[in-house]
Structure 1
Amino acid sequence: MAYAPVHDYFDINPTFSFPVEHGQYPVDQQEHVVSPESRSFSPTSSRKQHADTELQDVSPYWATPGHPMPTAPSHQRGWSGSTISTEEPPMTKGEPAALLPPSRSFMKKAYTCLPPKGSWFLEIITILISWAAVGAIMGVLARYNGAALPEWPYYITLNALIALLATIATACMGVSLQSGLSQLKWIRFKESKAPLSDMEAFDEASRGTWGALKLLATTRGGVLGSFGATVAVVALALGPFAQQVVTYESRSVESPQGASINRALNYTGALPGKTSSTGFVPILPLKSAVYNGLFAENGRPGASLAFSCPTGNCTWDPYETLAVCQSCVDLSPFVQVFCSNDTTTSGEGCGWQVPQGGRLDTSLDVFGMTSHVPAARGDAAHATIVRLVFMGTEAAHDGGRAGEKRPWARQCVLSACVQTLASGVTNGVLEEKVVDEYVNTTVLDISGDGDDDGKDRNVYVASPRSNSSTPYVLSIEAMLAMRGWFASVFATGSAIRNAAGFNRTVIANDSSSSAVVVNLTVGISSGETFFDSDVVTAFYWNYYEYADGLDMLMRDTATSMTVAFRSFQGVEAVRGRATSVESYVRVHWGFAVLPILTVTGAALFLAAAIYRTKRSRTEPWKSSALATLLHGLDEDARAQFEHSSSLKEEKYRARGIKVQLSQSDDNRTLLRG
């Protein structure tokens, strides 16, 4: 049987005690101390004398010798709790614990109506944790700002860490904001009378964003309540703004592996050959390079150059190399008409020529190429490899029309030179730009008795703008090999568009002729065209297809030959920088303002709530449901809701009922109307 307070209308003599021996009466025969006249009576007699009094059975206090029975004051209607004395008698050896009077602490827990006084320890700890989380976010961002994207174990990313810290900060702030907003309702009703509906408004605001928005919209929370609700709403954006602080961008970083590319200091590639007019022939890599430049037409004549770039993206400072340069000039102003002695009335015996040596024999020759290889006696610059003069009768790119006679002429030269190159590799593709070039225009007579005369016939090229005093060298053997072979490769030839030209080109020549007959439709020209060689065909095609077709084909050939120079003996490696693309962290500190202000606002709101609680001497009950139950409405306030038929109607009535948290007559704290 449990201990329970006995509610009655009688006073009990506080000095009364039972002078009985321990164990004198059985349990069911013991009497209770409930008489207002300080006398004992049995349960039977009490029921007879006070028929309107309801007595409750309670566990009896066992009287022991030398110990008085506990006494208790009277209980009156309207008073809460028991004030029975709970003086705890000493335990006698052998007494059953269940039969002893309850302890003072147990009686306090059982009969007190006031909850234990709360504290703000948890809220202060959580707001400190929020500060620590936001501070950790800022610290991590400051640590990795401008640094490469960190590689952490288990594929943890920087965004994941920021999201975790932001979640911790938001959750901890929620504890402080919830307690603060809940405490405001008690402060509101303690300081002054307020509509009872404000109790629900504050309670909803402490539970979520929608309630906080409603509290803001109705302005029922006052300055402090509106401030707390604003912080609660803004706290939702803490996570997104915290992650927006950091972005990831790409940049190039230098790799310690480095890069290298070759440059030619000299070139000596040549073989003795009896079939050559000069006694030397080029090595096969050079021949391949010439054909690649003439016929590949891929826009990448230097694609075969070897280089080392481990990352696929490399750069080099400008450097010099022995190379082959091309230059082209317009000779159209120097074109002259000439006619042979057997000129017919149709004018087919007349043609065009230029003083530089190019000519079109008849008006039927629509395109022609004339080659000039420097002689040993020194009729050209010693660095010149070959000189080509191109002529035509149709202006393909200056508004000319098919069949219209508008003769033109252009001269192009290939020479040994020194080039200054700016090289770079992007995504594994080499790109080179000619920054500067220099050609030695010295004319030298290399005729003589041969190598035994002691003359140095090599080609030396040294740019006056170079920092190096050592000239670049092209051996005379390599020069003679190229001149001899070019005399046959770039043999003089033309393109004709009639049967007579075909007979002249194909039938008149022997079986070794390289004449070509094709049906072309290029540019403004079309029809069956007869070419003396494939090289003439290539230059003809480029002239009609591209605005600077002749220059482009000569440039590709020169670049391809330079690659051959840089791929043979006499080269050295040029060191460069290998770069790779890495992602790095960039912090936009402007977005950090909101997380910092949000946590600061939550801390200020909590401090204000604590201060208002102490100033108004309000118990820190916060969101305790037990406090709401135990300190509810008094009888007068509750009476105004007796005729409400629904919760909606009760909410409506609560708007017009003002209550205040105050002490009742029995010292209970109630919401009184």
Structure 2
Amino acid sequence: MAPKLPNLSALPGRTRAETQPNQQQSQDQIEGIPQPFESDFFTNTLLDESKSHEAGKEASSYQAQPARNFSSSARYGLLSGFDPSYYRDWLFEILSCVASFVVLIAIIVLLERYDQQPVPAWRQGITLNTLLALLATLCKAAFAYPVLQGISQLKWNWFTKRRPLIHFEAFDEASRGAVGSIRLLVATRGQISSVVVAAILISAIITSTITQAAVTTSTRYAPGDGTATVRPNADPSLFKIQASEGGIWNKTVPEFMESIWTPLNETYPRLAPTCTTGNCQFPPFSSLAVCVAMNDVTDQLNLTSLGLYPNSSFQMTKATLPNGLFLEMGYSEWGTLNISVPTNYESFTDAPNATLSFGNRPDLLRAGLVDVAVIYGNESWITDMHMYRAVEVLFHLCVESYEVQTVNGTASTTRTAVLTDVVTDMQPPDPLLTNSSNSDDGVIVLAGPKQDRQNYTAGLNLLLGISMPLVDLLPGTYRGAEILSVATPFSLALGWAVYHEGPFTSGNSTSYGGDEEMRQTILNIMQNIAIGVTNVLRSWGGSPQTGTPYQLETYVIIRWGYLAFLAAQVVLSALFLLWVMIQSRRLKTEVMKNSVLATLFAISSEDKALLEAEGEGEPSIIHQDGNSNNDMSTMAKRSTVKLIKGERGWRLGLVGRDDDDGDGDDNRVV
């Protein structure tokens, strides 16, 4: 057993040279211990016992000279004095940094490729998140490796100054992961290097999670496989349709009957498109259509008293329009109206003389189909002859523009524009209609919208096919007390809407709501009839308008902000490695990193013997059956070392320990 070292604090002023005999004796006693192989990094790790006094002088010399006592010419940066061997020592770390940037770029390219695109369907059930997680893991491994190696090298740079030996263990633990980096942060008291290390390693725990959060999905409608068509009408051959075949007639009557019973505040459905996917978009288009115009002609009524109704006390009144249409009813008669049309089509071709109120609208008259007059009482119970009202309704050809779409199986058609611009007037037809089936007589040409650049043509047979059913179905009379005996289908529908469903009725009472509301009710029903007839025109001929079928798809949304986390880690790790390389170059420390041999031979056999010999005087530091970890930690905390370069290389030299006896002396052993 080596003898106890003298208490240096009890020998003030004595130098290491004066205590050399005792140290020589200690060296003589361990001379028989086999000396380990010297590493390439530490060529003088184990001192030759025969030259221990020279080693003591060397250590004493380095105590007087700080580790950074370099000449100004020796202070050069990383790139000055290029030494290929130096960069070879960092080759794997540099390649690892490059790999992390390459993987990061690959992630960006991958996500850019699928951003706003449908979710990819790859083989084996591999998803975009799966591939992203793999790349994120590779990137984390790539940027973590140079950080861990940089910590190991930073350990040697740290000891170029006098440091507690316990810091050696803190650096070693930090090179193993995030938990150790926290201990290093505490041990170095928040040095910038330890802060950077802790930030990188701790944040690396959630790298994959945050990176995958960059990918999210949503749903949208995208063009898909299916059929999307809608019928406009732009077929010039329509005017050749023969009225005698009854094709348009047979289609018009059912549409008419359905349209007149549309609920009061609803619009009759327009021709529905074909959409096999349930979601379709169509470009705007135009079609030949039937429109309605209505004017109030109450001021043209001529009211005449007819005396009492036979065998009653009811006063009879006749309301007559200038064209001869009239309505007769009693003062107390409940809900009465009359709908009249010209007796034949030819009489209306003389439009300026036939109309009551559209003389100032030649465009409508030139495209006119049927003129209708409605005379009605403006209250359910007529008590005054001045309660009669009248309107004139004109059905005419027009060109309508539409926007059509189908959403979730529900089609909607919006009329965006109406144009009545007659290019060619209708010629007088053959009065006997003997040649109408094969003649172009009676052609009407209407111009479409400017953006359409197309004309829409209708001939006599088409006009007859539309107008004749209207002439037959529109006239009628409604009397509230004699509904079933005198009403036609249309007069019943109109009378019921006016006197039972209008805004002026409430329960069983009849409260007048105003002339405008009543006129609007009549106009709504007439417009629904026009829509039904337009549906017949659009379904009869013309090429279908093709739309785009849409299907619900799931697509990828990239939230690029989440990638900033990974990018910051990659950049920070590269900067940290560069910093360690520059610092090592400036301090001229050997690139040893986490070399096991370097650690094994870090402390010379002489300093080890000094530590062991000093511990003999304190209980529980060294035991014959092993070491006590707690006591070893205590010794490591109290002992300080410094990286010293001698003639034969680098070593960790024991330069002293913290003052533990309160005498102000640091108890140096050098």
What's the TM-score bracket when you normalise by the shorter of the two chains? 0.5 to 0.7
C-alpha contact (below 8 Å) 1:661/1:669 kept by paired residues: yes
Q: Letter of the 1:609 partner, please give it.
A: V
Distance 1:198 1:337, change over 3 A: farther
Q: Name the residue aligned to 2:569.
A: 598
- Equivalent residue in structure 2 for 1:557, among 529, 532, 535: 529
1:312 to 279, 297, 308: 279
Change (3 A) 1:256 1:646: same
Amino acid in structure 2 at the alignment position of 1:323: A
Match in the other structure for 1:448: 431
Please name the residue that 2:130 is paired with: 160
Other structure's SS at 1:292 match: helix
Structure 1 residue ranges without an equivalent (≥5) = 1-6, 9-74, 85-103, 106-111, 274-279, 397-401, 531-539
- Whether contact under 8 Å (1:506, 1:513) holds in the other structure is no
Which residue of 579, 599, 621 maps to 1:608?
579
Q: Distance in 2 between matches of 1:393 and 1:122?
A: 100
Question: Which range moved further: 451-460 or 227-236?
Answer: 451-460
Q: Corresponding residue for 1:368?
A: 337
One-letter code aligned to 2:538: R
Q: Which amino acid aligns with 1:287?
A: V
Q: Deviations over 1:406-436 (max 9, x none)?
A: 7654433322333333444444544333323
* Counterpart in the other structure of 1:384: 368
Aligned residue number for residue 82 of structure 1: 34
Question: In structure 1, how many angstroms separate the alpha carbons of the residues matched to 2:530 and 2:618?
Answer: 104
How far is the alpha carbon of 1:162 from its aligned partner? 1.8
Structure 1 residues 293 and 512: CA distance shift in structure 2, 3 A: closer
Q: What is the aligned-residue RMSD (CA, Å)? A: 5.5
What displacement does 1:207 show? 3.9
Larger Rg: 1
Maintained 8 Å contact 1:367/1:393 = yes
Shift of 1:191: 0.9
Q: Does 1:432 align with 2:413?
A: yes
Pick closer, same or farther for the CA change 1:611–1:359 going to 2, 3 Å.
same
State which drifts further: 412-421 or 436-445. Answer: 436-445
Letter in 2 for 1:436: V
CA distance in 1, matches of 2:443, 2:629: 109
Give the deviation of 1:599 after TM superposition.
1.0
2:260 matched to which residue of 1? Answer: 294
Q: Helix, strand or coil for the counterpart of 1:556? A: helix
1:332 and 1:655, CA in 2 relative to 1: closer, same or farther beyond 3 A? farther
C-alpha distance in structure 1 between counterparts of 2:440 and 2:261, whole Å: 36
Q: Take 2:139 and 2:526, find their aligned partners in 1: how far apart are those partners?
A: 70
CA 624–237 in structure 1, closer or farther in 2 if over 3 Å, else same: same
Alignment of 1:104-183 (within 5 A): 120=90, 122-145=92-115, 148-183=118-153
SS at match of 2:371: strand
Contact residue 205 and residue 215 of structure 1 kept, 8 A: yes
State the AA in 1 paired with 2:145: V
Question: Alpha carbons of 1:661 and 1:409: their partners in 2 closer, same or farther (altered >3 Å)?
Answer: farther
Write the letter of the residue equivalent to 1:608. Answer: W
Distance in structure 2 (CA, Å) of the matches to 1:451 and 1:144? 69
| 1:104-145 deviation per Cα after TM superposition (whole angstroms, max 9, x unaligned) | 99xxxxxx989xxx9655544433332222121123234445
| Residues 449 and 563 of structure 1: CA distance in aligned 2, closer, same or farther (over 3 Å) | closer
Find the counterpart in structure 2 of residue 92 from structure 1: none
Larger mean Cα displacement after TM superposition, 359-368 or 321-330? 359-368
How far apart in 1 are the matches of 2:635 and 2:113? 58
Residue 288 of structure 1, CA deviation? 1.6
SS at match of 1:462: strand
- Pair 1:415–1:637, CA change in 2 (3 A): farther
Deviation at 1:582?
5.4
| Contact in 2 for aligned 1:267/1:565 (Cα 8 Å) | no
Matches within 5 A, 1:477-556: 478-496=462-480, 501-502=481-482, 505-506=483-484, 523-525=503-505, 548-556=520-528
Partner of 1:226, secondary structure, is helix
Cα distance, 1:349 vs structure 2:
3.1
Q: Is the 8 A contact 1:370 1:388 kept in 2?
A: yes
Tell me by how many angstroms 1:290 deviates.
Answer: 1.6
1:383 positional shift: 4.1
Matched-pair contact (CA < 8 Å) for 1:335–1:409: yes
Match of 1:536 in 2: none
Which residue in the other structure is 2:163 paired with? 194
State the distance in 2 between where 1:260 and 1:529 align.
Answer: 49
For residues 449-484 of structure 1, give each alpha carbon's deviation from its aligned partner in whole angstroms, at most 9, with x where no partner exists: 4426998653513227566675512433x4335444
1:303/1:430 contact within 8 Å kept: no
Whichever residue aligns with residue 294 of structure 2, its letter is: C
Percent identity, please.
20
Distance in structure 1 (CA, Å) of the matches to 2:547 and 2:183:
67
* 1:472 aligns to 2:452 (yes or no): no
Instruction: Give runs of aligned pairs for residues 220-259 of structure 1, distance below 5 A.
Output: 220=189, 222-236=191-205, 238-243=207-212, 245=214, 259=228
1:652-671 aligned at under 5 Å gives the runs 658-661=640-643, 669=652
Give CA deviations for 1:494-527 in whole Å, capped at 9, x if unaligned: 253xxxx33xx556x5999997998957644256
Q: Is the 8 A contact 1:81 1:113 kept in 2?
A: no
One-letter identity of the residue aligned with 1:460: I
The Cα of 1:313 is off from its aligned counterpart by: 1.8
Aligned-pair CA distance for 1:612? 3.7
Deviations 1:9-38 (A, max 9, x none): xxxxxxxxxxxxxxxxxxxxxxxxxxxxxx
Aligned-partner residue type, residue 288 of structure 1:
P
Of 404, 413, 416 in structure 1, the residue corresponding to residue 397 of structure 2 is: 416
Give the alignment's TM-score, normalised by structure 1.
Answer: 0.63
2:594 aligns with 622
Specify the SS of the correspondent of 1:617: coil
Higher RCO structure (Cα 8 Å, ≥6 apart): 2
Tell me, yes or no, if the aligned pair for 1:259 and 1:309 is still in contact at 8 Å. yes
Report the counterpart of residue 635 of structure 1 in structure 2: 612
Shift in CA distance, 668/186, structure 1 to aligned 2, threshold 3 Å: closer
Q: Which whole-Å CA distance do the structure 2 matches of 1:641 and 1:291 have between them?
A: 115
Structure 2 CA distance, aligned partners of 1:326 and 1:647? Answer: 103
Q: Is the 8 A contact 1:661 1:671 kept in 2?
A: no
The whole-number CA distance in structure 1 between the counterparts of 2:321 and 2:484 is 27
- Label 1:181 to 1:372 Cα distance change in 2 as closer, same or farther (>3 A): same
